[in-house]
Amino acid sequence: MSEAHEAMFWKPLADNRVECDLCRFHCRIASGQRGVCGVRENREGQLVTLVYGLCVADGADPIEKKPLYHVLPGSRSYSIATVGCNFRCLHCQNHQIAQWPKQGREPIGSYLSPEDVIQRALASDSRSIAYTYTEPTIFFEYAYDTARLAKEAGLLNLFVTNGYTTTQALTAIAPYLDAANVDLKGFNSKFYREVTGAELSEVLETLRDYRRLGIWIEVTTLLIPGHNDDEGELRELAAFIASDLGPQTPWHVTGFYPTYRMQDVSPTPLRTLQRARQIGLEAGLHYVYTGNRPDDEGMQTYCSGCGMPVIRRQGFELLGHSLSNGVCRECGVAVAGLGVDQIGPA
């Protein structure tokens, strides 16, 4: 039996059942059973998490890899994960660890305390900690305790998430959570249910929560040919970002590669990503990027005032910039984000 840690955000029900209120599935769990994530278990009427401190992946990454292009550009982010996810995406890129518990296996990993995470982050010259690779919501207690220590140590905290955290849980961690990259996997309810097992409307509400709580967000959409790349839907998605989240919200449109249970689908053509980027710009978004494909134009940050390239990248590497204290040297318009004014020498 896995080591257990008391869970947050649940309530008791009749007959030793519990309701988990951490994510928007609101699982009702009988004694001895687990929620859809496979890592939260009802033990005789008490909800516990089975992955607290059980780190399955960690290391210092370029922050651009998250991808977060408008948070401390050019810095490193110390990244951690446990096994498990509340989604069951057919195209899961980290299915070996994200879907592990759903296969009836016990959680795996090496114990790494929140204090250890902070020490490793500082030793790696990282300026932030990213809760990523799987879904940070399902290891919330571990992330929450680590985030509080990180804040004391002067590190930023970042979620890379599917956007299914409840308002209650997100509000609790908001004082410590600085930024998030949220997967908005499409703009079709049927696609969401069939490919991820989740509801689009709930993801949209979570995104609105992020904006209301003042957490910096960037949105990523992985374009899967024939599934979520319809131009009409992309226009609706871009319009939602512009109207509900704000035109300063970066949108990353990234290329799909055949994986997991969608190996019969072709990779995303570069032209599809470039067209999606154009749709985002036409919707009034200031910052739209392409990813997972070589595309020089789609990797750069352009000034929303004069259109000049102000942050230059190649892959995950920052090549240079044309900013002074976070503003364009050409026209004086600021680039939105966190710590953009702290970018290194040009």
* pLDDT at 102 (0 to 100): 84
Residues 27 and 78 in one domain: no
Co-location of 205 and 63 in the same domain: yes
- Please name the residues in contact with 296: beta carbons below 8 A apart, sequence gap of 6 or more: 314
**Closest alpha carbon to 208 in 158, 236, 246, 168:** 246
Q: Which two tokens stand for residue 240?
A: 């939602």
Based on the domain organization, do 33 and 97 belong to the same domain?
Answer: no
**Per-residue pLDDT reduced to its tens digit, 227-256:** 999 999 999 999 999 999 999 999 999 999
**Residue 35, pLDDT score:** 97
Domain that holds residue 27: 5-49
232 and 314: one domain? Answer: no
Query: For residue 105, what pLDDT is reported?
Result: 86
- What's the total number of domains in the chain? 3
Residues 108, 243 within the same domain: yes
Whether residues 58 and 175 share a domain: the answer is yes
Q: Are 74 and 314 in contact (CB under 8 A)?
A: no
Rounded CA separation 66/98 (Å): 16
Answer whether the bond into residue 269 is a cis peptide, omega within 30°. Answer: no
Domain shared by 32 and 122, yes or no: no
The predicted pLDDT at position 287 comes to: 98
CA distance 285 to 321: 21
Q: What pLDDT is attached to residue 345?
A: 79
Contact yes or no for 343/323 (Cβ under 8 A): yes
Residue 47 contacts residue 8 (beta carbons within 8 Å): no
Together in a domain, 16 and 41: yes
> How confident is the model at residue 4, as a pLDDT?
87
CATH at residue 99: 3.20.20.70
Residue 1 is predicted with a pLDDT of 40
Separation CA 12–CA 70 (nearest Å): 42
User: 173-204: buried (b, 16+ CB within 10 Å) or exposed (e) per residue?
Assistant: beebbbbbbbbbbbbbeebbeebbebebebbb
Query: What is the crossing angle of helices 114-123 and 140-152, to 10°?
Result: 50
E strand or H helix at 242 = none
| Same-domain status, 120 and 209 | yes
Nearby residues of 154 by Cβ (< 8 Å), 6 or more positions away: none
User: Do 291 and 307 lie in a common domain?
Assistant: no
d(CA 206, CA 283): 22
Q: State how far Cα 158 lies from the chain centre.
A: 8
The sheet that has 5-6: what strands, in order across it? 5-6, 46-49, 40-43
Whole-number pLDDT of residue 2:
47
Are the beta carbons of 323 and 311 closer than 8 angstroms? Answer: yes
108 and 184 in a single domain? The answer is yes
The ranges of the chain with pLDDT < 50 are 1-2
329 and 195 belong to one structural domain:
no
